[in-house]
Amino acid sequence: MAVRALRTSRADRVAYRRIVVPLGDDDESELGVALAAELAPETGAAITAVVVVEVPAELPLEAHMHDEEALARRALEKANAIAASRGVRLRSRVVRARARGEAIVAEAEAAGADLIVVRDSRRPGKALFGKTVDYVLRHARCRVLVMRP
């Protein structure tokens, strides 16, 4: 699936300097990297891809989670390949946290992000957005672009 960035006039463009893209354990989350890579060259933005390994409350944050860490490394390798194919440099981060949304917002703040590109995987139901996206929208101090499948 090709990703096209929305084209606007120069006066309407927002100059993003730092873009944070959280990745999940599915291929569709990589579309966020593709979109960020489309936006980055226009403004020289830096992209940070973040994978949050959620650690259950009954385990210490340092607990061994080999399967989750392997999935995180694979997701970041794919994200690096996508960015490289578009000539964009990507910074990769794996973060351990109790809650995905809180970790994404914290990473965006630490990076000084102007934009978070997040994918909402919520299926039709009662809530407009899933728990993670809802948290990011309510707490992020920067713009948030939500992608839907």
Long-range contacts made by residues 35-40, C-beta under 8 angstroms, separation at least 24? 35/3, 35/5, 35/117, 35/145, 35/147, 36/83, 36/88, 36/115, 36/117, 37/82, 37/83, 37/86, 37/88, 37/90, 38/3, 38/4, 38/5, 38/86, 39/5, 39/115, 40/16, 40/88
* Percent of the residues in the chain that have a pLDDT greater than 70, as a whole number: 83
CA distance 33 to 37: 6
pLDDT for 13 equals 59
The token pair that represents 127 in the structure block: 């809530």
Q: Residue 3 pLDDT more than 70?
A: no
pTM of the model: 0.86
- In this structure, whether the domain defined by 15-147 belongs to CATH 3.90.190.10 is answered with no
Check pLDDT > 90 for residue 118.
yes
pLDDT in tens, 39-63: 898 778 999 999 999 999 999 999 9
Domain boundaries, the chain: 15-147
State pLDDT tens for residues 67-97.
999 999 999 999 999 999 999 989 999 999 9
* pLDDT the model gives residue 115: 97
